[in-house]
A = this chain, B = another copy of it.
Amino acid sequence: MKAETRDRVLRAAERLSFFPNALAKGLLAGRTGTVGLLTSDLEGRFSIPILMGAEDAFGAGKMSVFLCDARGDAIREQHHVQALLSRRVDGLIVVGSSTNPRTSLGSDLPVPVVYVYGPSEDPADLSIITDNVDAGRQAVDHLIATGRRRIAHISGDVSYSAARDRAEGVTTALTEAGLPLSGERVMFGSWSESWGRGATRLLLERAPDTDAIVAGSDQIARGVMDALHERRVDIPEDIAVIGFDNWAVLATNSRPQLTSVDLRLEELGRLAAQRLFEAMDGDVRHGVESLRSRVVTRGSTTPSH
């Protein structure tokens, strides 16, 4: 970069206060401010928000996160780890391809590692995840608070801990409220709109008095809403719908817009970056740290929106 360009950029940065606060200054001292993010996310849907959160942890423009995609391949992952380490990254953030526990990268790496979204199988590692049991509970609490009493749960692939954990939260919250699960059992299937459609048709035959459906993901929720529209069921008047993920493309374009449990991916990334830099300073943590999700309310559960 030309000296003149550099000066121009620095002046602009100064103007915009792109400078770290005292804490960030301390944590970043002597570091390169570069972190590697390993993902297997084929669309970037989960990893890009986590990347943004990590970069923003110490103020805009102080850190660069390099994302590498291993596509679920262990050999490719090792290749990327070596490429990142040989370029002196300060640490690694490993984003799971699901919330299921994943193999640890091991304890002999020269930089700290934090696992995000899906935890490491090794309790000696530090993992930062969303509490999906609590997320399921929050979905039901929101529906009860908005007057629902016959709540059903249509979810994704039961081999995913996200599906099982959310279902546990849903059923626990219902039991505590003294309410039955509409349709009697959790309907596990796949993470797709078409399963949402099919399951909703089955559910309405089995439990036609259902007044709310907790969908295991926004994709499933879109299928649920589609099947309800097909039957001219009013949303939310007759049946309210809530999803998980708060994926804007799906949640803000449905009719009505979809209430969804936000898993706070940027916050996961921000916390992961902080923990990485704390570990470099000798404050090494272990085990699983979990964040609470939050319900983003839209028209599919509250008619006023």
Given contacts A43-B45, A43-B48, A69-B52, contact A226 B249 (CB under 8 A): no
A284: Cβ under 8 A from any B Cβ: no
A179: Cβ under 8 A from any B Cβ: no
Given contacts A42-B48, A67-B66, A255-B226, contact A78 B33 (CB under 8 A): no
Interface flags, A30-68, vs B, CB<8A=1, else 0 = 001110100001111101100110010000110011111
Interface flags, A77-102, vs B, CB<8A=1, else 0 = 01111111001100000000000000
Closest Cβ–Cβ distance, residue A104 to chain B (whole Å): 12
A292: Cβ under 8 A from any B Cβ: no
Q: Which segment of A11-19, A141-149, A293-301 sits at the interface?
A: A11-19
A9: Cβ under 8 A from any B Cβ: yes
A172: Cβ under 8 A from any B Cβ: no
How far apart are the CA atoms of A1 and B75 in the complex, in Å?
Answer: 13
How far apart are the CA atoms of A52 and B72 in the complex, in Å?
Answer: 13
Q: Is the CB of A219 within 8 A of B249?
A: yes
Q: What residue in chain B is nearest A18 (Cβ atoms)?
A: B75
Closest Cβ–Cβ distance, residue A227 to chain B (whole Å): 10
A178: Cβ under 8 A from any B Cβ: no
Given contacts A68-B66, A108-B2, contact A61 B87 (CB under 8 A): no
A-B pairs, 5 with minimum CB distance: A44-B44, A64-B83, A66-B66, A193-B253, A87-B87
Q: List 14 A-B contacts (CB under 8 A).
A: A2-B106, A2-B108, A5-B106, A41-B44, A43-B44, A43-B45, A44-B47, A48-B69, A52-B71, A61-B79, A64-B83, A65-B69, A87-B88, A226-B255
